[in-house]
Structure 1
Amino acid sequence: MQIRVWNSNLKVRLIGEALFNMLFWMYFPFITVYFGQALGNDIAGMLMTVPPVFSILGALLGGAMADRAGRRPIMLLGVSLQMVMFACFALSPSHWIDYVAFIGIGLGGAIYRPASAAMVADLVPAEHRREIFATFSTANNLGAVLGPALGAVFFFHYRQELLWTCSAIMLLYFIAIYFMIHETSPPSGNKAEASASISSVFRKQWQSYGIIFRDKVFLVYTLAGICAMVSILQLDLYLPVYIINEVPAQPFFPWIADSPVLTGTDIFGWVLGFNGLLFVLFILPVTKWLGSWKERNVFILSSLLSGVGTFALGLGSNIWYLFFVTVIFTFGEMVRSPVTQSFISRYAPEHARAQYMAADSLQPTIGRFLAPITVFLSTWVPPMGVLSLILLFALISAALYIQLFRMYVEHPEQQRG
């Protein structure tokens, strides 16, 4: 489905989200370092466990309200909150205000995402959703290639200017959503409840999510995704610890006499950039190539590639070998994202689509609670032990996906939502 024939809603959002994600990758990778320098690494480590809690609440609230009030108002709410929090960050005289603003930025993004994903599902036929979600993922990952390199300069030396630019981009995106994007949510009785009291809305919202998580198919799907995320998220957690501490300095081109020598830190930077480049170049071709594959097989392949690829890091330290295994675990992550969104958009009942999208976003959020266990264990457990634990989570994920599709095929007619 070519971009030129896309609905205008999708075109506006593709441009807006691509611009913001470029800026996002200019500050996000350095937030922990920033708070560590200001408050100490021990305090910074504890502080970083709090934002996922707000992301969970924001995603659940955004999903529920998007099904009640519509996609567009909730997207406007999420964007405006991010805009204000970026401005607060830029004006802040205190690191604690910085931290509150950082939480607010994450909360705004969490509120925005379920409504945004549900809008794609509203507008795009099921057979084209993988391709559309893959295109959005490509745009979002363009920033992951250049953003960290630019952010290393701009975040530490021109932080206020960078934050004000982020705020201005969010203002422009708010204006674009307000004037150029129309509502897409299907007619539903839930919208009549939008004027109900806040307490009744929250009560009904949590009751709705209770129904979702009593859906056994969806519960197994969520558990499988959480286990898969433990291995996928290690790129930001244990991999830098492992590569920086365990991989020796070495020439980039060992067959050339005067080749530059890279330290472990340099090598991790190359691995991170290579990961982002692979996403940009291959997510669309891979999504098309796997377009005829059953979702079951794609999910299992994703879990196995990400787990085996991460485990294989411990089997060699040559930089070109590390690039090779980076291809393996990156493809594991790459094949998963579009299929996850297309699966849940098809599985969710129409009247609760945004709520299911929001509940689906709990997978990476809860995964971020579990995944740091590898960093803590690395103090006492040797690298191969930690990497074996990561592989174990991936294998459990694959087993749960096998069970999921046995249940889903046997009971496709089950009532949900």
Structure 2
Amino acid sequence: MRQCEENMVPIRLWNINLKVRLIGDGLFNMLFWMYFPFITVYFGSAMGNHVAGLLMTIPPIVSMLGSLLGGAVTDWAGRRPVMLIGALLQTVMFALFAVSSSHWMEFFAFIGLGLGGAIYKPASSAMVADLVPAQDRRQVFATFMTANNIGAVLGPALGAVFFFHYRDELLWTCTVVMLLYFIAIYFMVHETSPPSAKLPKGPHFLTTVFKEQWKGYGIIFRDKVFLTYMLAGIFSLIPIMQLDLYMPVYVIDEVPSQPLFPWTGLSPVLSGAEIYGWLVGFNGLLFVLFIWPVTKWFHNWKERDVFILSSFLSGIGTFAIGLNSNIWFLFVITIVFTFGEIVRTPVTLSFISRYAPEHARGQYMGADSLQNTIGKFLAPVTVFVSSWVPPMGIFSMILIFSLISVALYVQLFRMNTEHPEAADSGPP
């Protein structure tokens, strides 16, 4: 069965694979956000901030390799086995984290968690693309994003208590949840990969797999349309990622303490750090409340226009943060750049699932994740140069990145219209 059983949208009519994934991903994502925001602080207090800062450069590299490996094996072994491997690896690593008395072993477990998630994600996304008709993918991906962002809103608030005071209990809870999710995948999820994605087995099948997948990635990265899409995505993500990078530096250092409700005499006065916390929480709340309706509003928009709007809103919104330090002005600007992120996410997943040829969908999903990894390497440049460049110089740099992204998306869809059937025939 290759189609989603719902004719959009009721979740109760979804294919069982999608229902299991929605519940499992939502629960795990909430637990993930209960420990992830505090992990750098935890290792920093144990090993020193300089060592922790260097160690935190390793997870993106491991995730990049895991995504490429997961995407490659997905097209050979199928979606379900790779999802099982990713879920089992995360289960084992959570248990190792919980029982370990060594900070280095805990860091190894943390690396393993990232690797398991990176292996799991391309197979998971490819399964959605297998099951859902192209015209419905934006709404389905938006539903998954809504479930994930509910966890991103609730997780940090709960983790601020549980991670520091009940860390072992939290990690064991994560272990049990991932084990139950693994069991659910094993017994309830069926395979969805097309027969064309399978490679024949033989005496040297493993060597053949890696040779074929390496050759496949070579084809992907020689695909000019896909490379343009990747570059445009990297430049568009740099402004979006500033919420966790330069924005806290700017708000905490440059925004003065001020009352939350200045028109009343009883308003609490918030420091720069507290204002930043409110802005992050507001960002998460907007995601939860609006990703689904926004996806519906833009359902009939062309992908090109959505990508351009996203880059423009996130760039202009981030740039405008430096124009005024009033807390309510910052709330309004948060709406602007958050909507830039909201409109982008579902259409990104739908674009690559449509563009990728059926037999290499997992590989393309894995390669697509490199946008996020490379963006994470480049986005911190704003923090690095902030010691020499004034805030408006940094915000101008961020705006330039977004405008480059707009230009690349315009070029992308000019190129793509020359090969409208690229998704059916493979890379041009």
Q: TM-score range by the shorter chain?
A: over 0.9
Among 74, 84, 91, the alignment partner of 2:82 is 74
- 1:256 maps to a residue whose letter is T
Provide the rounded CA distance (Å) in 2 between the counterparts of 1:130 and 1:185. Answer: 20
State the partner residue of 2:18: 10
State the partner residue of 2:426: 416
Q: Is the 8 A contact 2:238 2:379 kept in 1?
A: yes
Q: Does 1:224 align with 2:232?
A: yes
Q: Does 1:87 align with 2:95?
A: yes
Provide the rounded CA distance (Å) in 1 between the counterparts of 2:152 and 2:336. Answer: 18
Deviation at 1:92, TM superposition (A): 1.4
Aligned runs of 1:193-232 on 2, under 5 Å? Answer: 193=201, 196-232=204-240
Q: Does 1:246 align with 2:254?
A: yes
Q: Residues 77, 246 of structure 1: CA spacing in aligned structure 2 closer, same or farther, 3 A cutoff?
A: same
- 1:45 maps to a residue whose letter is G
Greater CA deviation, 258-267 or 177-186? Answer: 258-267
What's the TM-score, normalizing by structure 1? 0.98
Provide the rounded CA distance (Å) in 2 between the counterparts of 1:354 and 1:128. Answer: 19
Question: Between the two proteins, what is the percent identity of the paired residues?
Answer: 71
Q: Is the 8 A contact 2:310 2:343 kept in 1?
A: yes
State the partner residue of 1:271: 279
State the partner residue of 2:415: 407
Deviation at 1:48, TM superposition (A): 1.1
State the partner residue of 2:397: 389
Provide the rounded CA distance (Å) in 2 between the counterparts of 1:190 and 1:76. Answer: 18
- 2:61 maps to a residue whose letter is V
- 1:98 maps to a residue whose letter is E
- 2:140 maps to a residue whose letter is I
State the partner residue of 1:118: 126
Provide the rounded CA distance (Å) in 2 between the counterparts of 1:260 and 1:352. Answer: 55
Q: Is the 8 A contact 1:69 1:194 kept in 2?
A: no
State the partner residue of 2:264: 256
Q: Is the 8 A contact 1:68 1:194 kept in 2?
A: no
Q: Is the 8 A contact 2:250 2:391 kept in 1?
A: yes
Deviation at 1:411, TM superposition (A): 2.5
Render the CA deviation track for 1:383-413: whole Å, top value 9, x for unaligned. Answer: 1111111111111011000000000012224
Q: CA RMSD in A?
A: 1.2
What's the TM-score, normalizing by structure 2? 0.95
Q: Is the 8 A contact 2:76 2:209 kept in 1?
A: no
Q: Is the 8 A contact 1:231 1:394 kept in 2?
A: yes
Deviation at 1:245, TM superposition (A): 1.2
Render the CA deviation track for 1:181-210: whole Å, top value 9, x for unaligned. Answer: 000001126332487454432232221111
State the partner residue of 1:336: 344
Provide the rounded CA distance (Å) in 2 between the counterparts of 1:368 and 1:397. Answer: 16
Deviation at 1:98, TM superposition (A): 1.3
Provide the rounded CA distance (Å) in 2 between the counterparts of 1:194 and 1:363. Answer: 35
Among 178, 190, 207, the alignment partner of 2:198 is 190
State the partner residue of 1:38: 46
Greater CA deviation, 293-302 or 185-194? Answer: 185-194
Q: Residues 114, 202 of structure 1: CA spacing in aligned structure 2 closer, same or farther, 3 A cutoff?
A: same
- 1:24 maps to a residue whose letter is F
Q: Does 1:294 align with 2:302?
A: yes
Greater CA deviation, 175-184 or 87-96? Answer: 87-96
Greater CA deviation, 121-130 or 44-53? Answer: 44-53
